[in-house]
Amino acid sequence: MDKNMARLIKAAKSVRRQFPLAYGFSAGSVGAAILTDKGNIYTGICIDLACGLGFCAEASAMSEMLKNKETHITSIVAVSKDRILPPCGRCREMMVQIDVRNFECQVIVGESHTVTLRELLPNHWLNQST
C-alpha cells in the first residue's frame, strides 16, 4: 500500500465513530478523507436520517475542502466499520461538478486498490472529452 493511501485510510478511520441521534438515527458510521493537489487532507462523516436530508461522509469532506477554497481532489476514500466503500453516484457527480480535474482523482476502493473517478463514471454527461 502506498504512503498516501495509508494516510487517507487512517484519517478516514480516525473520524468514523458512529453515535446516536434523535429517533434512532445516527452519524459517523462512515468516515471519509480527501487528499487535495495542495497536499491537504480533509475529513468528513456521514449523517444517516430518514428524511433524505442526511449526507455522505464524502460530501462532508468535500464541504470542508470547499470551505478552504480548494477544489482539486487527488485521492479519496470512505470507510465503514469493516470495509472500504466506493463513493455513491451522488458523491461521484459532486466531485466532477466541483472540478473536472477530479475525473483523474484516485478513488481508493480496497486496501491496495484504486481506480480513477473517470473509471467509475464512464460516458459522463458533462463532457465526453474531459
pLDDT tens readout for residues 76-126 = 999 999 999 999 999 999 999 999 999 999 999 998 899 999 999 998 888
* Cell (9 digits) for 2: 502506498
Question: What stretch of H or E contains 84?
Answer: strand 84-85
Q: Quick: pLDDT tens for 12-62.
A: 999 999 999 999 999 999 999 999 999 999 999 999 998 878 899 999 999
Tell me, yes or no, if the pTM score tops 0.85: yes
Domain boundaries, the chain: 3-120
- Return the H-helix or E-strand segment holding 119: helix 117-120
Q: Do the Cβ atoms of 121 and 107 come closer than 8 Å?
A: no
Whether CATH 3.40.630.30 fits 3-120: no
